[in-house]
Amino acid sequence: MATEKEREIRQQLTKTGQRLVEKNLVAGPGGNISVRDGRWVYLSPSGFALDEIKPEEWVKVDLVSGHYQGKWRPTCEISMHLGLYLARTDIRAIVHTHPAITTGLVSGGITLRPIFPDFVAILGHAIPVVDYVIPAGEAIRKAVVAALKRANVATLKNHGAVCLGSTLYEAFVRSWVLEESARMLLAALVAGKPRYLSAEEIEGIDHLEAEDYRKTLLKNR
C-alpha cells in the first residue's frame, strides 16, 4: 500500500513528464527522470514516452541494491541515476532529456556559456561537456557522475543533458532554461558573434538578492 508521500511523488513525476514533452525537451520514449526518497528511487519505466506514464507505473527501486518492484522494467539508464544519488547525497531529483538545440550545439563543438542572467542564476557559471559514450551501463554512469561532482547540469555530446535538483521542479527548470540558453546562443551565432557575460557581470548576478530569492523558491516547489 503506497503512502501519501509516495503517491505525491508519483503524481509529481507524471506532471513533470508531461511538462518535459510539452517543452519539446524529449521525443518518443527518449529521456528519463527520477526522484529519491530515502532508500527508494522512483524511476521512469523503460520504453514509455514521458507524457504517457501513469502515477502507478513509475518504478520503485532500492537505491543500494538496484532491485525494483512491479511489472515494469526501469529505464536502461538506471545505473546513471543510482550512481548520481550515491555520489551526490544533496540531490533529490534527476532529469535526463534530449534537447535538440542543446545537443546539436555541443555535438557541433559549441560550448554553452553564460549569455543571459538566468544562465548564471539557474545553471551556474560553466556546464561540463561529456564526450559520447554508449547509453546505459557503467560507461555513462562513470562519465556523468564524474562531470557532476561539482555541477548541477551537464551536456552529453550526441545524446542530451542531465540536470540535478534538490526538488524535481528545480531539476525540470534547469532542463528548460538550458534549452532556452541554447536557443539564444544559436540565434546569436546566426545573427553574428555572441556576446557572453563578463566575469564582472557574472559576479554581479551572483550577488543579486532577487536571484537568491528565486533560487530559494525553486528548492521549495
Q: Which whole number is the average pLDDT over 191-216?
A: 83
CATH label, 4-219, candidates 3.30.70.2860, 3.40.225.10, 3.30.70.260, 3.30.460.10: 3.40.225.10
Name the residue ranges covered by the structural domains of the chain.
4-219
Structural Rg of the chain based on CA atoms: 17
Instruction: List b or e across 71-107, with b for residues whose CB sees 16 or more CB atoms inside 10 angstroms.
Output: ebebbebbbbbbbbbeebeebbbbbbbbbbbbbebbe
Span 96-153, pLDDT tens digits: 999 999 999 999 999 999 999 999 999 999 999 999 999 988 999 999 999 999 999 9
| Active site amino acids | 77
Q: CA-CA distance, 73 to 44, in Å (whole number)?
A: 9
**pTM to 2 decimal places:** 0.94
